[in-house]
Chains A and B, each alone.
Chain A
Amino acid sequence: MFRRVLFHWSLAAITGMAVACGSDTSLKETAAGASAGGAGNGSGDIAALMEARGLSEADVAAALKTYTPTGGRDEYLLFASGGHSGQVLVIGLPSMRLLKVIAVFAPEPWQGYGYGDQTSALLRTGDRHGVELSWADTHHPALSETEGNYDGQYLFINDKANARVAVISLKDFVTQQIVTSPLIESDHGATFVTPNTEYVVEPSQYPAPLGGGYAPLEEYNDRYRGAVIFWKFDRAKGRIVPEKSWAIELPPYMQDLTDAGKGPSYGYVFINSFNTERAWGGTLEGNPPLESGASQNDMDYLHIIDWKAAEKLVAAGKTEMIAGLPVIRLKTAVDEGLLHFVGEPKSPHGVDVTPDGKEMVVSGKLDTHATVYSWAKIKALIDQKKFAGRDPYNVPILPFEESIRGQAEIGLGPLHTQYDGKGYAYTSVFLESKVAKWSLADLTVVQKLPIHYNIGHLAVAEGDTASPDGRFLVSMNKWAIDRFNPVGPLLPQNFQLVDISGDSMQLLYDLPIPIGEPHYAQIIKADKVKAIEVYTPIGTDALTHQVDPNAVKAGEERIERRDDGVHVYMTAVRSHFTPDIIRVKEGDKVHLHVTNVEQAKDATHGFAIGSHNVNVSLEPGEHTNMTLVASTPGVFPLYCTEFCSALHLEMAGYMLVEPR
């Protein structure tokens, strides 16, 4: 039976809608009337608009659930890794509007990140092996937590390619710190935090000799290793403290996603692994490709790590310094009972602790199930030392069947799971390109929703915390294929917003991501994040949140010529820099100290000098320090790069470099 839906727009009651689910006759009559009135004239005859744009009833319902009028606020913020961009994306939900791209590991011109000021020095702290790195592959953002719930204070993000971790303050959405250790050469399961953000956890992915250096691949089993770094976080200072951080050596499997236990499983972290076959490729050397060699075993190993006990071992000094980090060697970890394995079906990806901390769900990419492990069973097996065997490195392996509560038949290629707090789990199903909603109680799928296409991770609102919100789910799809207008062979990824508030999931909206391939995201209630509007007091350094020693007050602008170069103390205010003329000699080192002395919201100025690769963003109240060498005689305009006022174009000056 075919049925129609028809919408009249009531001018008298803007907030309401007269909706007719009527016959063809009433439809035609009203459609004719709508046509006479004219669509698209702002009065908004819905039926005519639907017809003109070819929209279905479901499309309009989806639009109503996402549309956010101008000035409206989003209920949630989604923090997504920016993939190859090396940055972090901030997206509002349900509008799916991109609110910010936080500069993290790569230079970003709009934020003046990496173009001559303190942020350039910050980026250099992320260099490895003496190489200046200007890109990253960001994978897994982790919001800081208090008792297993997001607290809205900090965000951590990893760089898989270069084994780095960054700390972002959510006070101003600015990167504060980058840490890296040559102990490992790559990471993937990072970053994840322990329930009170005691540690930011960074496991390696591709095994390599610990601490760097060369070892032949033929000695892979003996000289290549994985490791997991526990970066100690000082919440009050907003900094990771490398001196208080440590690591545990792991076998040369490929460690993957991680989650921290909470509630009854507090004190433990769980790390997936694949390639327990210890294959290392060699397609031109007579070996099968890595993907084949790594997919031979039916089971890989879920790593169960007692980080509370490890912390005590570190305090007791039962570690070895490698690459500047105290490392609990693998033998010690085994002898002291810190590390246990349990089998997990074929090439797993996500390990996701349930909100109550009682169970862990593991998805095997080459298995059709999500396996539900019971923490109580695992803990009892550990306490009883009831092992099914040991791996080649003597790590005890718990009996699989006795560790699980059961398995849910999900479909082809289950990948990653989150929760809605109402008893349902949501698992991404890569090969089928679907989201599966299933009941945790009876382990049965209740709905599968097609998405477009090749879903990787998914994120539910606060869905990996102790108290998920549900409401919305974002499917992070690797391929877009035919979803958007063609833009050449390189296509964006596709984020799809799904309403999960009702009994049945509804796909709402697509957001193309044309900046890199995001991997993971977390969704936090927007009102938990308390971002500042301006930097106060005036002269604040965004990297320290303290008044900079070189901050400039209005009326105290000056130019000082010292032994180490020319120091320019400058202020910016609509619509001029003071001073606006900088006179230096060829070869001078020029130190620019610039303060935006404004306190009006959004009154940001940019400061750039042509041909010197100097460009900074000065948010209201912010101070930055830049240094350049005036190596070429000439006349170089400087100007404000952020449209600030009616006389913005006049906010300019010159740097004059006089020949020697």
Chain B
Amino acid sequence: MNTNVRWIGPGLLAAALLMAGCGESTPEAKAPTAPATPAASAVPAKPAVDKAALHEEAEEIFSTRCQTCHGARGAGNGPGSAALDPKPRNFQDPEWQSSVNDDHIAKIIQYGGAAVGKSPAMPSNPDLSSKPELVSALVGVVRELGER
């Protein structure tokens, strides 16, 4: 990866071209709104993941986004479940818990039921796709509901 290119002299090329030329090529264009690295400051060391905080955030997400249908204790009996057919997954079901791996649950959380051939009534959570650690924590919350 050659990054030590120095461009000198104003007006040699259009500025936009210059900057495009400096960019690393990435298979998927990065959203400019992704966490930015200021060009003229040192990169802070990546903070250690605070697992307790992540778990707390995941529980908060469960209580705001999931429990309406899946129920506060994940039994699939939340108030939003009444009209659903099929019914929301019962996370307390040990048979189901043992039949799926974490990746499967993570996929459903991010992309919805239709992503795995299940009910499209289970919606996607597109803003979580860029937060894999939070998705993992949420998978952990789902797993814990099966252990209670």
Contact = CB atoms under 8 A, between A and B. Distances in A.
A47 to B, nearest CB: 5
Contact of A18 (B7, B26, B39): B7
28 contacts: A2-B3, A6-B39, A17-B19, A18-B8, A18-B10, A19-B22, A20-B6, A21-B4, A21-B5, A50-B38, A50-B39, A56-B32, A56-B39, A58-B29, A61-B20, A283-B83, A291-B121, A412-B115, A450-B129, A452-B33, A453-B127, A481-B126, A481-B127, A502-B20, A504-B25, A504-B29, A507-B29, A510-B33
A488 B88 CA distance: 29
B95 interface: no
Contacts of A1: 1, 3
A4 B19 CA distance: 11
Interface string B10-46: 1111011011101111111111111011111101000
Do most interface residues of chain B lie in helix, strand or loop, or is the interface mixed? Answer: loop
A432 B128 CA distance: 11
Contact of A5 (B10, B22, B30, B120): B22
Contacts of A48: 40
A49 to B, nearest CB: 10
B40 A21 contact: no
Contact of B129 (A50, A56, A413, A433): A433
Nearest to A450: B31
A57 B39 contact: yes
Interface string A230-258: 00000000000000000000000000000
Contacts of A289: 83-85, 121
Contact of A61 (B19, B38, B85, B115): B19
Given A289-B85, A292-B121, A47 B40 contact: yes
B3 A483 contact: no
A431 B114 contact: yes
Contact of B111 (A17, A27, A292, A412): A412
A84 interface: no
Interface centre among A448, A451, A452 (most CB of B within 10 A): A452
Contacts of B86: 292
Contacts of B111: 412-413, 431-432
Report the contact-size class of chain A (Cβ under 8 Å from the partner).
35 or more
A506 interface: yes
A16 B10 CA distance: 5
A508 interface: yes
Nearest to B36: A56
Nearest to B30: A58
Contacts of B23: 57-58, 61
A431 B112 contact: yes
B29 A15 contact: no
Interface string A4-26: 11111010110111111111000
B134 to A, nearest CB: 12
Closest 7 A/B residue pairs (Cβ): A16-B11, A3-B3, A16-B10, A10-B10, A433-B126, A31-B40, A13-B10
Contact of A54 (B18, B38, B127): B38
A17 B29 contact: no
A624 to B, nearest CB: 45
Nearest to A45: B40
B29 to A, nearest CB: 5
Contacts of B43: 2
A50 B19 CA distance: 14
Contacts of A481: 126-127
Contacts of A55: 36, 38-39
Contacts of A54: 36, 38
A122 to B, nearest CB: 40
A8 B129 CA distance: 36
Do most interface residues of chain A lie in helix, strand or loop, or is the interface mixed? Answer: loop
Nearest to B37: A56
Interface in B90-148: 111-112, 114-115, 119-121, 124, 126-127, 129-130
A34 B23 CA distance: 22
A7 B15 CA distance: 10
Contacts of B40: 6, 27-28, 30-31, 34, 47-48, 50-51
A479 interface: yes
B35 to A, nearest CB: 9
A381 interface: no
Given A413-B114, A452-B31, A504-B25, A19 B15 contact: yes
Given A18-B7, A47-B39, A454-B124, A447 B29 contact: yes
B11 A5 contact: no
Contacts of A505: 29
A454 B32 CA distance: 18
A430 B85 CA distance: 22
Contacts of B127: 452-453, 479, 481-482
B9 interface: yes
A345 B147 CA distance: 39
Interface in A393-451: 412-413, 430-433, 447-451
Contacts of B30: 58
Contact of B126 (A452, A504, A506): A452
A11 to B, nearest CB: 9
A5 B19 contact: yes
A295 B86 CA distance: 12
Interface centre among A2, A289, A447, A453 (most CB of B within 10 A): A453
B16 A64 contact: yes
Interface in A513-535: none
Given A289-B85, A450-B130, A3 B114 contact: no
B28 A449 contact: yes
B85 A17 contact: no
A65 interface: yes
